[in-house]
Amino acid sequence: VALAATGPVGDPVGTHFALLGTGDTAVVEMAAVAGLSLVPRALRDPGATTTYGVGELIRAALGTGVRRVLVGCGDSGTSDGGAGALQALGARLLDADGFELGPGGRELNRLVRIDPCGLDARLKDTELLVACNPYNVLCGERGVARVFGPQKGATPAQVEELSAGLENWARVLTRDLGVVGTDLRTGPGTGASGGLGAGLAAVGARLLPRFDVLLGHLDLDARLAR
């Protein structure tokens, strides 16, 4: 399914998602709308890039009536913790004055409160699965900003700024979305694709190793046996 969505630097990009089998499962590939290849070298600032388009793709997939959405977390040009995706899905991220945050991981240092009331209600009735590398975590010494920030264009100072923002993001997400049973800071896969894993986990996604998704949901084992 081809469509236009918001790219990582805020400009529209041509992208797509797939419908599998009988059409009850959609596959959204993060890199197809927010990958590093979509960020011009001159604009590689992970403090400013956004996953908003990922949320737009998920919304478009929900609009087809699917019961399950698989999100592939691979190459990314973002470090916003999935904040943009949640904004596209209807969450309002607010600063101390009640104004909505702009795009990018740098903004997360100003986050004071999340208003989840506008989140797409269809999420509650849809299985959301994220295929990711479980060794990627959001925060800490091996946090996503420290490990991957430099290759996305971050200076050492920006790495620390992004890391602090993601710490705040995890704290406010956990509190305001009532996240239980998942440690958004250091849980397996929370750092996938610049922290997209954490953002989606906060709205009920299950974070799974990529190969488990291939075997369990794309019938790879059955295909290989043929």
Cα distances from 42 to residues 9, 38, 65, 142, in angstroms, run 11, 12, 39, 27
Rounded to the nearest integer, the mean pLDDT of the chain is: 94
pLDDT digits over 91-109, tens only? 999 999 999 999 999 999 9
- Please tell me the predicted confidence (pLDDT) of residue 212: 79
- Please tell me the predicted confidence (pLDDT) of residue 217: 65
Per the model's pLDDT, the better-predicted residue between 153 and 52 turns out to be 52
CA dist 226 and 220 (Å) reads: 10
Residue 222 has pLDDT above 60, yes or no: no
pLDDT band for position 219 (cuts 50, 70, 90): low
pLDDT band for position 151 (cuts 50, 70, 90): confident
How would you classify the pairing of strands 2-6 and 12-16? antiparallel
Q: What is the pTM of this model?
A: 0.94
Residue 220 has pLDDT above 50, yes or no: no
Average pLDDT over residues 15-39: 95
Average pLDDT over residues 167-187: 97
Average pLDDT over residues 207-225: 67
CATH placement of domain 2-225? 3.90.1510.10
- Supply 153's token pair: 């264009």
pLDDT digits over 62-91, tens only? 999 999 999 999 889 999 999 999 999 999
- Supply 168's token pair: 């705040």
Ranges of H-type helices in 78-153 = 83-88, 144-148
CA dist 52 and 180 (Å) reads: 25
Q: What is the DSSP string of 16-68?
A: E-EEETTTTEEEEETHHHH-GGGS-GGG--TTT---HHHHHHHHHHHTTT-SE
Q: How many helices (H) and strands (E) does the chain have?
A: 8, 9
Per-domain residue ranges for the chain?
2-225
- Please tell me the predicted confidence (pLDDT) of residue 74: 86
